[in-house]
Structures are given as C-alpha cells and as structure tokens.
Amino acid sequence: MTQPLRVLVVGAGIGGLTTASALARIGAHVDVIDDKPEISVAGVGFGLRINGLRAVRDIGLLEKCLEIGHPAPAIDNYDADGNLLSTMSYGSQDDGLPGCVTMSRMAFLEMAAQHALDNGCTFRLGTTVARLTQDDAKASVTFRSGDQGEYDLVLGFDGLHSQIRRDHFGEKYAPRPVGGVAWRAGLPNRRRIMQPIISQGYGGKIMLTPLSEDQMYMVLTLAEEGRPRYEAANMAQIMHDRAVALTGGSEFLADALEDVRHAENVAYTPYSTVWVPYPWFRGRVMIMGDAAHTMTPYLGSGAAMSIEDGVVLAQELAKDESLLDAQLNVMKRRLPRVRAVHERSIESMLEEFDSVTPEAYRARIEHLRHDEPIANEYANRLLRMPY
Ligand SMILES: Cc1cc2nc3c(=O)[nH]c(=O)nc-3n(C[C@H](O)[C@H](O)[C@H](O)COP(=O)(O)OP(=O)(O)OC[C@H]3O[C@@H](n4cnc5c(N)ncnc54)[C@H](O)[C@@H]3O)c2cc1C
C-alpha cells in the first residue's frame, strides 16, 4: 500500500465521522463528503452502550461523550398503567465505563466532526460520488461538483439507502421493511427521569430517555405496515394519537403525551434492515455501518456497531499487510459479531409487536416481568464481547 493511505469516506454520519478520525489517527489522509449541505440528522437522541463507549474511547472521544452525555445505568419497564415490571441493567461498570450514556445526536455529530477536523481530515458537504472506477493502483472518483480525486480506499458510510452499496453491490441488498415504525420527538423532562423508562402498550411501546435533567426524548415503536406520507404539520398530533391508542388512554404518561402534541421536531421512521452477507468490499470500495448492516434499534447498537467497524478497520490497516489482507481480517472480526447483534435486534422487535390482543398483551407483561431481564443480560454480555 502507498503511504500515507488516501481514503474517501462517503457519509458524515456517526460511523463516517468516527471512522474518519480512527483512520486519520493511524496516519491516513482522509476526505469526508456528504450529500447534505450541512450536518444534520433525524431524531433527537441516542444511547451508546458499552460497545459504543469502548469504541469512542479507542479514538479519543470518550471524555467528550461523557461531557455532553447523560449516564443511564438501567431501564425501568412498566405496563401501560404504570406498574413497575422489572429493571434491566445496562451491565456492570466495565473498565470505568458506564453501561450506557445517552446524548443529543446533533451534539455528537458536531463533536465528532470537530474531532475529525482536529485529526486533520478534510470535509466537503453538499456533494457525492458521480463516477467511481478502480484499478490495481487506485480508485478514481469524480464528484458531483465535477472535480476529481484518487484514493486507495473508498468507504461507503452512506447509511440505509447507500448509493455506494447500490452502485457496487447491486439492488439485491436493498433495505427490507420489517413491519415496524418509530415516532421520535424531543420533550421537556418534567418528571426529571434519570434513566430510560419503557411503558409497554398494545402492540408497541413508549420509551422516554433522559438527555439531561431538563430534556428527554420519546420514542414510540409499534407495528405499522405500509409507508404513508404524513404532512409535517400533522406529525405531532398523529404521534400523540398513536401513543394514546398504545396506552389504552392510561394516565401514566399523560403529561408527556400532552407535550408530544406541541413537539416541533417529530421524526417518523419506518424500520428497514439491510444485511450484506459477503465481504463488505469490492476491490477498493468498501461499505460499513448502516450501509452494510442496518439493524433495528432494539439493542441500541446500530451506531455503536458503525463506530466499531471503523475502529477495527483502522487497527487492521495499521498492520503492515496488503489492503486485501486488512479487509479480510476486518471481515473475520466483524461478520460474526455484527450478525449476532443484527439478528437479536430483529427478534427483540418481533417479540414486542406480538402483543396486540389482550391475551398476548398479558403474556408480554409476564415476559417483561420475568424473562426480559435475562434476555437483556444476554444482550449485555454479547455487546461486551471483545471486537
Ligand atoms: C429510532 C432509532 C433509534 C436508534 N437508537 C440508537 C441507539 O440508541 N444507539 C445506537 O447505537 N444506534 C441507534 N440507532 C441506529 C443508529 O442511528 C444508526 O445505526 C447509525 O446512525 C448508523 O450510522 P451510519 O453512519 O452508518 O449511517 P447514518 O447515520 O445514516 O449516516 C449516513 C450519512 O451518509 C449521508 N449520505 C447518504 N447518502 C449519501 C450519498 N449518496 N453521498 C454522500 N453522503 C450520503 C447521509 O446524509 C448521512 O449523513 C437508532 C436508529 C433508529 C431508527
């Protein structure tokens, strides 16, 4: 390989930005592009569990994450009427790391972009790849803006609807809807909740996650087929109505549900998954993060897996081996681990949606009381495995 390695990262999301830093820290010259004119994201917050926290520590971002984030030791599970069913720990402190830290998505992206700049990466927003050819020596890229660049490696971190995946791996791996949707909104934290709470409803759930003493976000997940287009002006009311239906009109979260009606930033996301089974590269073009393995958020780990991808890639590229050897080593380390988390994220979702009839709902409540904490402990151990 030529030194320093020249890398183009396509997509300035969570995975692309953190990978850019990971690669710059091993001496690579990294250009990052995104087709959006500015860094932005749907959804208010997210959580990094032990897997994500270890990975951000590896690229020198842990302290800043702890500064902008809120440590969340566990999740409390309630039924729709507010009876506490179980408390699921995010796992014991490992190496001084909290089990989970929740934070604002925008704050994370801004911090990760600044970190990549500080590490010497260059950014170009509002452009994408118009043409990409490759030979034994290089990948040649023509950008939409007309200018060109030559790279040793092009990384598609361009998410669920990845253009790099479509162009270089084919339509075969297009996103598959999995029958669920998420409604998300940022809300005031009137209850001063300090750790996430879940209220199980009929065929879905409401999750409230604190970002600070004053702010939290609500995620409503439920089975919903089809992909209707909703008017932006009606989203808050629709999310409110869905939440009320889910709780059967219970008073338990009535204050938060009322706040939803006035939320300004409601995001509606039909769940789809992607799984690219074969090595995530075609020559010098590689896909990672959601572009290669979009999962459901049921293990709170899609972002964490994207960050891990980049850390592992940097570790393998830092060895004095060929690009192909590095790519194959990455696949050996990533495929089994990501596959296990991906599968579990889908199973978990399907278990939750199977609670629409009163009988199934009662069974779900018993499951949450007795079995879910054990399933959660399995997830903790899975995520804690070395990568
Ligand atoms: C409701 C919900 C809750 C979630 N909660 C969590 C959580 O708590 N913890 C967790 O770890 N994960 C969570 N996730 C998953 C997480 O958000 C994703 O796995 C993560 O964002 C993937 O990062 P990425 O960088 O691979 O892709 P993305 O974040 O999707 O970034 C892709 C980037 O590529 C850009 N792009 C797209 N197309 C092009 C193109 N053609 N050219 C150039 N740029 C392009 C986009 O603008 C974007 O900036 C959640 C997901 C959902 C839907």
State what percent of residues in the chain have pLDDT above 70. Answer: 99
Q: How many residues does the chain have?
A: 387
Is 113 part of a structural domain of the chain? yes
Is 385 part of a structural domain of the chain? no
Is 329 part of a structural domain of the chain? yes
Q: Is the CB of 307 under 6 A from ligand 1?
A: no
Probe residue for ligand 1, chosen from 290, 308, 334, 383 as the CB with the greatest number of ligand atoms within 8 Å: 290
Is 43 part of a structural domain of the chain? yes
Is 20 part of a structural domain of the chain? yes
**What separation in Å is there between the alpha carbon of 306 and the centre of ligand 1?**
9
**What separation in Å is there between the alpha carbon of 1 and the centre of ligand 1?**
30
Supply 147's token pair: 């200018």
Is 1 part of a structural domain of the chain? no
Is 258 part of a structural domain of the chain? no
Question: What's the confidence (pLDDT) of residue 320?
Answer: 86
Using DSSP bridges, classify how beta strands 6-10 and 153-156 pair: parallel, antiparallel or unpaired: parallel
Q: Is the CB of 180 under 6 A from ligand 1?
A: no
0.75 surpassed by pTM: yes
Q: Return the residue matching tokens 């996650």.
A: 209
Q: Is the CB of 16 under 6 A from ligand 1?
A: yes
Probe residue for ligand 1, chosen from 157, 217, 224, 288 as the CB with the greatest number of ligand atoms within 8 Å: 157
**What separation in Å is there between the alpha carbon of 259 and the centre of ligand 1?**
26
Question: What's the confidence (pLDDT) of residue 226?
Answer: 72
pLDDT at 315 over 80: yes
When mean pLDDT is compared across 160-174, 204-218, 355-369, the lowest value belongs to 355-369
SS (H, E, C) the chain: CCCCCEEEEECCCHHHHHHHHHHHCCCCEEEEEECCCCCCCCCCEEEEEHHHHHHHHHCCCHHHHHHHCEECCEEEEECCCCCEEEEEECCCCECCECCEEEEEHHHHHHHHHHHHHHCCCEEEECCCEEEEEECCCCEEEEECCCCEEEECEEEECCCCCCHHHHHHHCHHHCCEEEEEEEEEEEEECCCCCCCCEEEEECCEEEEEEECCCCEEEEEEEEECCCCCCCCHHHHHHHHHHHHHHHHCCCCCCHHHHHHHCCCCCCEEEEEEECCCCCCCEECCEEECCHHHHCCCHHHCCHHHHHHHHHHHHHHHHCCCCCHHHHHHHHHHHHHHHHHHHHHHHHHHHHHHHCCCCHHHHHHHHHHHHHHHHHHHHHHHHHHHCCC
**What separation in Å is there between the alpha carbon of 303 and the centre of ligand 1?**
7
Say how many domains are in the chain.
Answer: 1
Protein residue whose Cα sits closest to atom 30 of ligand 1: 159
Q: Is the CB of 304 under 6 A from ligand 1?
A: yes
Protein residue whose Cα sits closest to atom 4 of ligand 1: 297
Rounded to an integer, what distance in angstroms lies between the CA atom of residue 308 and that of residue 294? 14
Residue 152: which CATH number?
Answer: 3.50.50.60
**What separation in Å is there between the alpha carbon of 290 and the centre of ligand 1?**
6
Q: Are 69 and 215 in contact (CB under 8 A)?
A: no
Q: Is the CB of 167 under 6 A from ligand 1?
A: no
**What separation in Å is there between the alpha carbon of 65 and the centre of ligand 1?**
18
Question: What's the confidence (pLDDT) of residue 182?
Answer: 94
Q: Are 16 and 23 in contact (CB under 8 A)?
A: no
User: Over the stretch 275-298, which tens digit does the pLDDT of each residue have?
Assistant: 999 899 999 999 999 999 999 999
Using DSSP bridges, classify how beta strands 148-151 and 6-10 pair: parallel, antiparallel or unpaired: unpaired
Report angle CA 82, 83, 85 to the nearest 5 degrees.
Answer: 125
The range of the structural domain enclosing residue 62 comes to 6-70+104-175+273-353
Probe residue for ligand 1, chosen from 158, 269, 273, 387 as the CB with the greatest number of ligand atoms within 8 Å: 158
User: Over the stretch 325-345, which tens digit does the pLDDT of each residue have?
Assistant: 999 999 999 999 999 999 999
Is 359 part of a structural domain of the chain? no
Average pLDDT over residues 257-261: 96
Average pLDDT over residues 371-375: 92
Q: Is the CB of 47 under 6 A from ligand 1?
A: yes
Q: Is the CB of 181 under 6 A from ligand 1?
A: no
